[in-house]
Structure 1
Amino acid sequence: MSTPLPGTAERVPTSTHEAINEQLRQEIGERLQYYATNPDEIDDRLAELEREWDIERTLEANASGLILVLLGLGATVDRRFLVGPVVIAAFLFQHALQGWCPPVPVLRRLGVRTQREIDAERRAIKAIRDSQ
């Protein structure tokens, strides 16, 4: 029997090592503690969160940029570069289905979060602000 595909919101956290998920949660907790004692900085943090790129946007931008470069190299330097866009497209398809592709573990270790994680921090910080 086949395993069902994870839901959209769960894809990345499900395919991320639990230690990395825990580290990201800890960092959010530490920031919440900081803003609870520094409420005058909350508006700046909310503005930062509005500009933060989630993992989906980061993957899409990096993949499309790399595809464009490889297509240009394939057209002008060597046709073998055209294999790159095919591989990248396969990785993006894998990510769409499973929430995992080779760049995901690297990006998660670098602290790139899902939109759900960003939104959770935003809601918690707004709750802190509203309780002040």
Structure 2
Amino acid sequence: MKKVVHSKCAPAAIGPYSQAIKSNGFLFVSGQIPINPESGEIVEGGVDVQTRQSLENLKAILNDAGIGFENVVKTTVFLKNINDFVAMNTVYANYFREQCPARACVEVSNLPKGALVEIELIATMGEYSY
């Protein structure tokens, strides 16, 4: 069983996919590029500004699902230039402070709309004891 999650406070999907899907106690959130949801345009600035916008878009989707960054168990960060890792990581660290999720970070040759960063994530929908 799956349920589509859509936030009006995050950019609409720019293709045939959902912002997020709830399934079996998890939320799978599609990659978010740094689009300002009001203007529909990529935010201007370096990877730090773009990382912040991507994370704010993810935050809006998590909020609409009724959870927050504390529920995130895995992220994948796609960077147009791996030399931007430190700048991205500095902003990222402000969103994930305790019990940081597992993460992969890779350099890619290009991202939609010329973005410098894209971030996707997986989160749990509730409290689990392991």
Judging by fraction of residues, say which structure has more helix: 1
Range of TM-score over shorter length: under 0.3
TM (norm. structure 2) is 0.23
Q: Taking CA–CA contacts closer than 8 Å with sequence separation of 6 or more, which of the two structures ends up with the larger relative contact order?
A: 1
TM (norm. structure 1) is 0.23
Judging by fraction of residues, say which structure has more strand: 2
